[in-house]
Amino acid sequence: MTKRLSEKILITEPEEILKALRVSLHQGNVVGIFVKPLDSFMYLTAVEDIFSSAVTDEKIVVLKKLDLHGKLLEQNQLSLAEIYRVRFFYTLYKDGLHKTLKSMTREMDHGQFLIIRKRECDIQLHELKIILVKTLDSGHRISISVFNKDTSTEGYIKDFDSKLEKVILTASINDKQIKELSIPSIARIEFESFFQFKGLSSKIFNVLPEVTNRIF
């Protein structure tokens, strides 16, 4: 950027809003985002991705799923037109989130904290399908590992086949190249940020082998 953004400045011009969001995307700065018509509510997070919709050609802003209060956003994809004010911060998202989580450990019961932040969760195949469908809606970037293979596949879920036996991935949200994976072959699914399922905010879901073994 040619001009450095001032911390906590309230940005209202559309071009400057997009500029601040792009800084957050590339550098990881925290931004406070005000969305129509929720005038008093502010998303306090960072930008995960920005892309143009293939349908309407409007810009879509994908936010980090976890805000700086440690809460999962109910909606993390917004159209640029919905964002009418942005507050910019020098604080980096990872640093701000780390401080928030450290303060939570002091204020909360340790057992409750572990439940909220449980990193891994074991699931069954039918639960995996639910998670994959929810992932398509949420816009998470994921890493998928399959049985009997050492490599993993990363990207975004684009769609499924009609019987929900295959998942179709793209390397980036607006990438036209796709890759198909058999859902019953999935052994592990990992998210960049926490994903809520069964009351847990997990990053990794392991598919129980006894369920998948019956399929092969």
Is 6's pLDDT higher than 70? no
Domain boundary among 82, 107, 132: 107
Asked if residue 148 and residue 69 are part of one domain, the reply reads: no
**Confidence class of residue 104 from pLDDT cuts 50, 70 and 90?**
low
Quick one: pLDDT at residue 52? 85
Domain boundary among 73, 107, 141: 107
200: domain CATH number is 2.30.30.100
Residue 156 CB-half CA count within 13 A: 18
Q: How many domains does the chain have?
A: 2
Range of the domain at 196: 118-212
Quick one: pLDDT at residue 212? 39
Asked if residue 89 and residue 41 are part of one domain, the reply reads: yes
**Cα–Cα distance for residue pair 152/135, rounded to 1 Å:** 17
- Contact by Cβ (8 Å): 69, 62: no
What CA–CA distances, in Å, run from 71 to 81, 112, 163, 173, 196?
24, 14, 33, 24, 10
Asked if residue 96 and residue 50 are part of one domain, the reply reads: yes
Quick one: pLDDT at residue 2? 34
Quick one: pLDDT at residue 75? 81
List, for residues 168-209, the tens digit of each pLDDT value.
998 876 777 889 999 999 999 998 777 877 767 788 999 987
Asked if residue 150 and residue 79 are part of one domain, the reply reads: no
Quick one: pLDDT at residue 1? 37
Q: Is residue 4 part of a domain?
A: no
- Mean of per-residue pLDDT scores for the chain: 80
Q: Is residue 2 part of a domain?
A: no
